Amino acid sequence: MGIVTGTLTSPIRVIAACADEVRSSLPELDDDAVLDLIRGVENASRIVYSVLLDAFAEVDSRQLAAQAGFRNTASLVGELVHLSKTEARLRAEQASKLGARRGLTGEPLAPQLPETAAALAAGEIGPAHTRVITEVMGAVPASTSVVQRAQVEADLASHARAFGPTELAKLGQRVLAHLDPDGPEPRDDDPARAAGELRLRNRRDGKLGFEGWLDTEHGPQFQGLIDQLAKSRPLSEDIPDPRSTDERQADALLELCGLARAAEACPTTGGEPPHVNVTIDWDALRTELGAALLDYGQHLCASDARRWACDCKIIPIVLGGESEPLDVGRISRTVPLGIRRALVARDRGCAFPGCDRVPSRCDAHHVRHWADGGETSLSNCVLLCPTHHRHVHGTGWEIIVNPGHIEFIPPAILDPLRKPLRNILHC
């Protein structure tokens, strides 16, 4: 395996060739050999992951992200190999703890977690073990001595060789409890602790998924309301409620939302209570054949949209008509309502490739900056979420507005061929 002018000439090809050879020989292996193969491949994948973290650390030490206009190494590498933001941040954090380091004068330095790095490089522990150890070490009290901290890391790395990540996490919590049995001393200037967390996500099937927690003070209050509204409601004396417990609780949550919207104290937007915009073709609404688009990216069948129209305020939007100024030229830098509605209908959310942000979370971006003579028009604007709005301003992406769709040209550091990309998530 050689290296020529800093470019790998064979290692990746050797790995690919070995993978093809192993894959083709699988049917010929006996039972014991298949199990041995799983162990061997798992160990090899762990070793490769160790090399990956070293490469992350090398990118960071060379400050390649800053040179290319990216915020940090995680954002650069995440976009380079199409990682989620969470995964990119996780790997960058692990690389800072386990990856090879260099001093100010270029001399090699040991990793911050040397025992964990050595175990991963030997294929004895995996990425999940590594994540547990880095999280536990990050929670070690600052008062812990250097010697004791090193011993904790060595013990965790040793246990990781014999236990799975779940068991290792439990051991780590015991270690932390032993190091700081009383917990951190409260201070008068500490901010109030969060009452809980709520994470929302749009599922692939169009449904809304959520998860989270509430603290011990507010959890029972919420549970009490849900229990009251989720009581079984038989259809008749002889027909029980056909809904499962989970279904009744979901209906109870919807009922709570309805009660909240009807309350006088419910917050408003522009003087109106919470509302949902529905964009639908007139023929689809009239014939009940087709689909409508909601604010948050979900699609609604035309028959349901027609049903909603029986009990809602309808605002007709004629895109491109005389009643909507779709092109105000140089008059205004701020995108007026008419053009924004047209952008929502065209882009359906953040237009950046791979982004699923919905229109309500997007800004209108001038492709050619208004300050540089760019017009405030449909042909010179595109919807971008705040993250990608900042991103395209500083990392060399080019935007081409075509009739009906937007193309993004990546910077050369991400794609030397600069192949145009489109966001297919909103199509």
Q: What pLDDT sits at residue 259?
A: 75
Q: Which amino acid is at 308?
A: W
How far apart are the C-alpha atoms of 114 and 286, rounded to whole Å?
68
The pLDDT-based confidence of 270 (bands split at 50, 70, 90) is very low
Strand partners, 109: 101
Q: Is-contact 309 373, C-beta < 8 A? A: no
CATH number of 323-427: 1.10.30
- What are the C-alpha distances in Å from 160 to residues 132, 134, 155, 187? 9, 12, 9, 35
- Pair of tokens at residue 184: 């951190």
DSSP 269: B
The CATH 1.10.30 domain(s) of the chain lie at 323-427
Of 198-202, 232-236, 366-370, 379-383, the range with the highest mean pLDDT is 379-383
User: Any idea how long the chain is?
Assistant: 427
Report whether pLDDT(6) > 80. Answer: no
Q: What is the pLDDT of residue 47?
A: 94
Residue entry with tokens 């032993």: 178
CA distances from 131 to 90, 93, 141, 155 (A): 8, 9, 18, 15
- Residue 44 and residue 52 in contact, taking contact as beta carbons nearer than 8 Å: no
Is residue 391 predicted with pLDDT exceeding 60? yes
Instruction: Give the residue carrying structure tokens 């794609």.
Output: 415
∠ at Cα 159 (161, 101), nearest 5°? 75
CA 13 to each of CA 2, 7, 16, 46, 180: distance values in angstroms, whole numbers, following the listed order: 12, 13, 5, 18, 50
**What are the start-end ranges of the H helices in 188-300?**
219-229, 245-262, 282-287
Indicate the SS3 state at residue 213: strand
Percent of residues, the chain, with pLDDT higher than 70? 76
In this prediction, residue 382 carries a pLDDT of 92
- Degrees (nearest 5) of the Cα angle 152, 157, 162? 125
Q: How far is CA 378 from CA 140, 337, 345, in A?
A: 54, 12, 11
Q: Residue 244: pLDDT band by 50, 70, 90 thresholds?
A: confident
Most confident range, picked from 295-299, 345-349, 386-390: 345-349
Whether the Cβ atoms of residue 174 and residue 136 lie closer than 8 Å to each other: no
